[in-house]
Amino acid sequence: MGFEASIRETTGQPVVIGKLDPPAASPRPPHILFYGHYDVQPADPLQLWDSPPFSPQIRRGKDGKDRIFARGASDDKGQLMTFLEASRAWLSQVGSLPFRLTIMLEGDEEGDSTHIDRFLALNAREFKADAAFICDTELWMDETPAIITRLRGCIDDEVIVTGPKIDLHSGYYGGPAVNPIKVLSRILADMHDSRGRVTIPGFYDGVKPPSAERRREWSKLRFSAKKYLGDVGLSQPAGETAFTPLEQMWARPTAEFNGIFGGYRGAGSKTVLPAEATAKLTFRLVEGQNPRKIHKAFRDFVKARLPKDCKARFSGGHGDSTGISIAADTPWVIAARKALEDEWGRPAALIGCGASIPVVESFKTHLGIDSLLVGFARDADSVHSPNEKYDVECYHKGIRSWARIISEFA
């Protein structure tokens, strides 16, 4: 296709780079960095696959629709190919793209995101672009194109509350001895108020509520909290009562308890008073929150609640990421909205994502650029599971969507 291609070493798997400059022009066209990943999740358990995971098959379903079955069909090989095929088509018809293009395909997306982060930090000048395009996300409710404009960050912490220097017998010490499980339970219970708000002082510093416009748009997304929660056996939103479930997921930070343990965990009963108890926590963060400050505020919150005979040890904070909000008024988002609506016949949903996509933060931190997050996967694609698939319809309409985006630029 005319790219200048190379393989570049990282501290993890190598990165595949392709560079294509359009003919010299004035003004110089923008530089777009397209990101995807060639690594996949393990294919286990193999016996649950209907066809070999690394021998792709197109099979027609009872609904008459064709689907590509293979590990990576959706995540992320099928998706990244939509952009490459759109570029190929454009080049074959027009001769050159309306932007400088760098393709970056990494091999550690499913593993350790610190490798690509380090690579970008070391090569920031080379990969400095005007925007990153990423095709690794889903349609909204299967039929509506979507652009992600918010991602939550995440920090983790662990606290070990220690009390007596050894486990004690509850017959002899039950009463006067402090119990670390009790102390820890009380600290965790204190961490939310009756309206679901996190009570750590300063936790919400810098957090802006979503704009009225964004809230209005989200309210029109026909998101069914009932179905979303019902699928996992729940019936009631349990977060901040002042926000809708979508807002809770996309626009609000949380303090979550991921694990707790202390004392006796075997069968039956043991009359032990434990010497310590541990909790593992993650905090989902939104734009405006400072991970370091949240760590400190949490640890101060714990220490302020320790009785004299208890101490707390902390660990964690190794993979902190910040919450990110992506401007919706950039040329790329404006172009993408128009192109996606033209292709799919309905307006693109500007949605949030409650999870983190670490490379988006790396692009922001090291290259200073926003990412355009557009993808064509569907909930039923069994990403990370046996029989991963990608709908041929999504593949074709995905290619056409990117071609329309390129066209908007042109």
Nearer of residues 116 and 161 to its own copies, judged by Cβ:
161
Least gap, CB of 191 to its own copies (angstroms): 8
Q: Which of 59, 89, 109, 16 is nearest to 358 (CA)?
A: 109
Nearer of residues 163 and 398 to its own copies, judged by Cβ:
163
Binding mask 134-153 for its own copies (x = CB under 8 A): ------------------x-
Q: Which of 240, 276, 361, 388 binds its own copies (CB under 8 A)?
A: 240
Binding mask 299-318 for its own copies (x = CB under 8 A): --------xxx------x-x
Q: Which of these segments, 95-103, 106-114, 128-136, 243-251, binds its own copies (CB under 8 A)?
A: 243-251
Cβ atoms of 131 and 336 within 8 Å: the answer is: no
Nearer of residues 356 and 401 to its own copies, judged by Cβ:
356
What are the structure tokens assigned to 17, written together? 């780079």
327-364 b/e (C-beta count within 10 Å ≥ 16 → b) = ebeeebbebbbbbbeebbeeebbbbbbbebbbbbbbbb
Residue matched to tokens 């780079």:
17
Least gap, CB of 301 to its own copies (angstroms): 14
# binding residues, its own copies (CB under 8 A): 79
Q: Which of 238, 334, 380, 410 binds its own copies (CB under 8 A)?
A: 238
Residue 95 sits in the site that holds its own copies (CB under 8 A): no
Q: Which of these segments, 120-128, 247-255, 287-295, 360-368, binds its own copies (CB under 8 A)?
A: 247-255
User: Per-residue DSSP letters for 93-122?
Assistant: HHSS-SSEEEEEEES-TTS-THHHHHHHHH
What are the structure tokens assigned to 31, written together? 């530089």
Q: Which of 163, 210, 323, 375 binds its own copies (CB under 8 A)?
A: 163
Q: Which of 84, 91, 134, 273 binds its own copies (CB under 8 A)?
A: 273
Nearer of residues 22 and 263 to its own copies, judged by Cβ:
263
What are the structure tokens assigned to 192, written together? 């939310």
Nearer of residues 38 and 173 to its own copies, judged by Cβ:
173
Residue 269 sits in the site that holds its own copies (CB under 8 A): yes
Q: Which of 401, 403, 408, 405 is nearest to 344 (CA)?
A: 401
Nearer of residues 316 and 347 to its own copies, judged by Cβ:
316
115-147 b/e (C-beta count within 10 Å ≥ 16 → b) = bbbebbeebeeebebbbbbbbbbbbbeeebbbb
Residue 206 sits in the site that holds its own copies (CB under 8 A): no
Nearer of residues 238 and 304 to its own copies, judged by Cβ:
238
Nearer of residues 55 and 269 to its own copies, judged by Cβ:
269
How far apart CA 99 and CA 23 sit, in angstroms, is: 10
Q: Which of 395, 338, 399, 403 is nearest to 90 (CA)?
A: 403
What are the structure tokens assigned to 170, written together? 């509850």
Cα radius of gyration (the chain): 25
How far apart CA 115 and CA 111 sit, in angstroms, is: 9
Q: Using CB under 8 A, which residues numbered 218 to 237 contact its own copies?
A: 225, 228-229, 232-237
How far apart CA 109 and CA 116 sit, in angstroms, is: 8
Binding mask 180-199 for its own copies (x = CB under 8 A): -xx-xxx-xxx-x-------
| Helix, strand or coil, per DSSP, at residue 316 | strand
